[in-house]
Amino acid sequence: MKRLSPGYLTLFSMCFAVFLIGVEFTATNIALVTMQRQFDCSMSTLQWIVNAYLLTFCAFMVPGGRLGDIYGHRKLVIIGSVIFGISSAVGGFAPDSTLVVISRLFQGTGAALLWPNVMTVIFQALPAEKKGFAIGSVMGTAGFAMAIGPVLGAFFAEEFSWRWIFFFNVPLVGLIIFLARRFVPGEKTIAGESIDYVGGGILTVSLIGLVVALDQANTWGWGSLKTVLILSIACAFYVVFLFVEKKVKDPVLGPEMLRDRVFVLTLFARGCNFFGWFALLFILGLYFQHARGLSPMQAGLFFVPLTLSFGLVSPFGGKIIDKVGAKIPSVSGLALLALGFLWLSFLTVQSSNLFFLAPLLMIGTGQGFVSAGLAVLAIGTIEEKKSGLASAVYFMVTLVGGILGVAICGYFLGKLASLAVLDNAQKEDFLQSFVLSMHLCAALSGVGFLAAWRAYGIWERFKAEGAPAGGRA
């Protein structure tokens, strides 16, 4: 029997960490009603139970990637796992909703240390001709985890207790730590480099402000003083961050990374891509339940062609990337996404449920190709010693794009999403909001297509000339 190479064992091991992070995105949501009844908490508290994880995950990802580059990615994987495990246990034993929110904040922090370093470990474990398969496998695992999360959450909440959604993570964390120590090779630390704690802190405050403002804008009002003030503070801190980065010896984001045209264009394409992906995940279930009167279980079935095609295509797309390069799968995937969203924009009251099958398969398939292709290009264009940071920035932009998509589409819906029952006129308004959202998602997927096409053009030209791959100024 042929033994797996060390690289594949590393990939297999780290996919457990990817599964852990992905499940936590969706498993807790299904138990919110149960928590509300037990703790008698407000809707605002329930929102924070969901969003606290996303907030710290996004805010601390860049510092987490930088720490891994300097002190070793395996070490940060283990530290992140420990934080995730302890906070999960605290959440499981929490006597009130406040402690649940706090535990979710620390879960997000652990995930922020885990994700960029897991991605870098996987990216470095396999040879160049297998990187597409590696990234595709990761994305497929993440998609499967996010799809099965609600099922696991519902099982624990109904058969045992919502607390087991948190307790489930603890043995899984133990397994991840064991596998990391066993199959992830140790690394030399980078001598002579230090952490820019001031710059990292300023960037973190800026990101927290941005995420909070976008997340709460539909509740507070986009033109409200609170929203405008927090967004202004976030922007001001980012400007200060850029100024500070020019003055320090070892900046969080080196100027060479910000001048890398391939990297920046790829980030832009990914932000446009995840705007549509998150927006669809947000609005699709609401549409089926509010405008079509389906139950949560019935509405969930419509996600099967979307998530299943994404999960199955991601590893396959990775293999194609290894054979023909990332350009064709990436731009083809973005084109499929644009066409799928455009198809959905023709939805009418008379459309049957079968109308959704083809466009959802197109979007899931396109997402499977795009996720691996853009990640390979973004991380591969940056020097290897900063691959953890590149991975962190890439996925931070991914999350911000997704958060913005949910916020904008939530704005289109207005108060319709919070109504338990809609009359015919409100159902028509909901449909128009859905159609408008799909038009915007299609347009941004097209813009992402153009950005990715340009990025690959620069990459190929500079590679042929033997110049720096990113075309840095």
What tens digit of pLDDT does each residue of 273-286 get? 989 988 887 777 77
Give the whole-angstrom CA distance, residue 403 versus residue 323: 34
Other C-beta atoms closer than 10 Å to the C-beta of 422 total 16
Give the whole-angstrom CA distance, residue 310 versus residue 304: 10
Q: How confident is the model at residue 450 (pLDDT cuts 50, 70, 90)?
A: very high
Answer whether residue 439 shows pLDDT above 90: yes
68-77, 109-118, 270-279: lowest mean pLDDT where?
A: 68-77
Tokens 């605002």, residue? 44
User: Average pLDDT in the 369-385 region?
Assistant: 75
User: Average pLDDT in the 423-441 region?
Assistant: 83
Residue-wise pLDDT tens digits, 280-338: 877 777 777 777 777 656 766 777 788 778 877 877 776 777 777 777 888 889 999 99
Q: Is 471 left (phi over 0), alpha (psi -120 to 50) or beta?
A: left
Answer whether residue 397 shows pLDDT above 80: yes
In CATH terms, the fold of domain 248-473 is Growth Hormone; Chain: A; (1.20.1250)
Measuring CA to CA, how many Å separate 61 from each of 182, 349, 440?
Answer: 25, 42, 28
Select from 390, 393, 326 the least CA-distant residue to 133.
Answer: 326
pTM over 0.85: no
| Half-sphere exposure of residue 321: CA atoms within 13 angstroms, side-chain side | 33
pLDDT at 1: 41
Select from 180, 170, 143 the least CA-distant residue to 25.
Answer: 143
More confident residue, 401 or 154: 401
Architecture of domain 1-183: Up-down Bundle (1.20)
Residue-wise pLDDT tens digits, 217-233: 767 777 888 888 988 99
Residue 374 in contact with residue 410, Cβ under 8 Å?
no
Residue-wise pLDDT tens digits, 398-418: 888 887 887 788 778 766 555
Measuring CA to CA, how many Å separate 236 from each of 203, 211, 401?
Answer: 10, 15, 20
Give the whole-angstrom CA distance, residue 187 versus residue 227: 44
